[in-house]
Structure 1
Amino acid sequence: MLNNWITAAATAAAIAACGSAVSASERLSLSTWGSPKHYQVEQFVPKFEELLDEKSGGEFRLKTFEAGEMLKQQFVATAIPQGTMDISLTTLDNWSGRISDVGILTTPLWDHSMEWTLENLKPGMPVFEYFNDQLKEEGAVLLAMFDIGAPVVSTNFAIDGPEALEGRSIRAYSKGSAELLQSLGAVPTILGVGEIYSALQRGTVEGAMGGLGGAVGLKHYEVTSNMFVPNGVMGTLIHAYVMNRDKFESMSPENQEIVMEAATEARDHMQQYAIDALADLLDEVRENGNEVTVVEPDSEMWNAFAAQLESLTDKAKETYSPEVQAVVSGAAN
């Protein structure tokens, strides 16, 4: 009888211990959109998962969903605060309906190089902390903030100056990018990443503005003849990985630190890869038959675009607070 009691107690203890181990593990879901081969996915997600496992001793389980399978780009700002997904890739300007200040990232007031952002968009730095505070108020936490490079414009016509865009239907990726294109005389249409290829193929739009990595990964060069590389005179693309705030705060302080450290290290790895890969991506576009036009800083074409965008720059100075302008200019460092 005593032996039976001991056996039962041992079994119960083992079950309890097993249950405790399961409950102690952290299960997270992560969603991305666009091309799974884009470096913001291909270079970030596996590294993030590897670092979570390494830093936690295997306590984290990450379930990933690619190419908008569970969450499309335009719905992230709603779905993450609701807890539909724990973590997602996002274009920060997609939050402009909730956080007006993020719109400044798509204006000519943001003129930083990828090398600058590599060092200055990390936790503890003014830009990161400013937007993290704003995201927290909306039910999200900023895990990683990064620069995927200046946008490019894939077209079926040559762009040799701002006048070439006059009256042209061009895909925009956000409200801010649409305003920028409109200021150049184009007719912007906001489309999700997955809609671009067919829209270009059918002539629904005459060009598409977006990241170089995405344009190459989704093979836009198959349905275009030209690529225009503004090289920063038309702004840049600041993306991020964000997490549901309630889920983040439900974790222990130790696990919160693990997630942040893993995200930061994976982000650094990915952005350095992006910096190194830009030239190769442009070569791939050329090799696939597209004419590539790169705007050189301070060239005649650069100055023509800058002059055309001057009214947008002045509007941005009036629209955004002195505080956020100081933060993005680096004056708050």
Structure 2
Amino acid sequence: MISSFKKWAILPLLAGMALSTSVHAERLSISTWGSPLHPQVKVFIPAFTEALKENSKDAFRLRVFQGGEMVKQEFVATAIPQGTVDISLTTLDTWSGRVSDVSILTSPLWNKSMQWTQSHLLPGQPIFEYFNEKFKEQGAVILAMFDIGPAVVASRDPIALPKDIKGHSIRVYSRGAGLIIQELGGSPVTMGVGDVYSALQRGTIDGAMGGLGGAVGLKYYEVAKYMLAQNGVIGSLVHAYVMNKDKYDKLSPELRKALEDAVASARGTMQQALIDTYAKQVDEVRQAGNVVTELTPGTPDWKIWEAALQNLSTSARQSYPSQLVELVSAN
């Protein structure tokens, strides 16, 4: 039996061990932007937090910054390589100034469904590894890629066909989206997601191209009475969670695996939630009083859009590396 004296001697030692564990816990920061109701935030962050704690046996101390509190959407491509934050949600095409190839994801060449991307935009898959290598050259590592669905256009005037965009100012979220609007005769306008509502309300812009989740979460339907749900004919929105490469490389193999497994688990749950949510959100916009135009592959209207973007598609095939075009063109 341990004497009372020995018990009292051991207690400070145990307390010191616990303190040491806490002090040496790996600190990690993660940043998001946009509506906190988006599945890529609302579903991913809690699932990731729980899985990371369990996988690492509480070896990480995670701090979460939401709603652009730490880094706004348009500055992620600078903030991650600089180490302003360790991990961040990002729209991949906003990295086009550093990794020009990502613009293919918002080009007419990218016509993949959310179901396809669910199983193909994973670590070890060719497209994931292609882009991850490019990002590593820029001081970042891709932890997860996922499809939030085809971009929509919320507008003050009806947009059903390519001719309806001509002469209108449309907010875009990236260079690739801007090229599409420009090709169709519109004027692309770049602005942060938080400024779109007031710009639509004042008539500073005629429409806004972006994710359906953002349009619903930020209630664009209150100030824009029309929506085009284009279902991929003008590209989709591929997002990611990316990490500062130096921080990633410094993790022990055990902690790196715990992190990667937590991301994979949370990504799987989130991507399914995005798929389940998309159709419901289109209905929500209708119920709010918007006129929604949905394009369906193979229909006459779909073919009109394809024809209008044919020159841009041809140019894209010639401007991107043949290896990448082959990867994107594969089924």
Measured against the shorter chain, the TM-score band is over 0.9
Opposite residue 243 of structure 1, the aligned amino acid is: M
SS in 1 for 2:149: coil
Opposite residue 286 of structure 1, the aligned amino acid is: R
Shift of 1:221: 0.4
Distance 2:27 2:199 in 1: 38
Shift of 1:63: 0.9
Shift of 1:50: 1.0
Distance 1:108 1:23 in 2: 50
| Counterpart position of 2:65 | 65
Distance 1:49 1:328 in 2: 32
Shift of 1:158: 0.9
> Percent identical across equivalent pairs?
53
Listed one character per residue, the Cα deviations across residues 291-333 of structure 1 (whole Å, up to 9, x for unaligned) are 11101111111111100101110111111001111222237xx
Opposite residue 210 of structure 1, the aligned amino acid is: G
| Counterpart position of 1:49 | 49
The aligned runs of 1:282-301 (5 Å cut-off) are 282-301=282-301
The number of aligned residues is 328
**TM-score of the aligned structures, taking structure 1 as reference length:** 0.94
The aligned runs of 1:241-260 (5 Å cut-off) are 241-260=241-260
Shift of 1:196: 0.6
SS in 2 for 1:148: strand
Shift of 1:15: 6.5
SS in 1 for 2:208: strand
Distance 2:47 2:16 in 1: 33
Shift of 1:27: 1.8
Distance 1:324 1:264 in 2: 24
Shift of 1:56: 1.6
The aligned runs of 1:90-239 (5 Å cut-off) are 90-239=90-239
Opposite residue 154 of structure 1, the aligned amino acid is: A
Shift of 1:61: 2.1
Listed one character per residue, the Cα deviations across residues 76-100 of structure 1 (whole Å, up to 9, x for unaligned) are 0000011000100001011111111
Shift of 1:43: 1.1
SS in 1 for 2:146: strand
Unaligned stretches of 5+ residues in structure 1: 1-5
SS in 2 for 1:88: strand
Shift of 1:58: 1.9
Task: Note closer, same or farther for the CA distance 1:328–1:24 as it changes in structure 2 (3 Å cut).
Answer: farther
Distance 2:134 2:8 in 1: 53
SS in 2 for 1:36: coil
The two structures, once aligned, show a CA RMSD in angstroms of 1.9
> Once structures 1 and 2 are overlaid, which stretch shifts more, 163-172 or 20-29?
20-29
Opposite residue 252 of structure 1, the aligned amino acid is: S
Shift of 1:10: 6.1
Distance 1:37 1:18 in 2: 36
Unaligned stretches of 5+ residues in structure 2: 1-5
SS in 1 for 2:145: strand
| Counterpart position of 1:3 | none
Shift of 1:277: 1.1
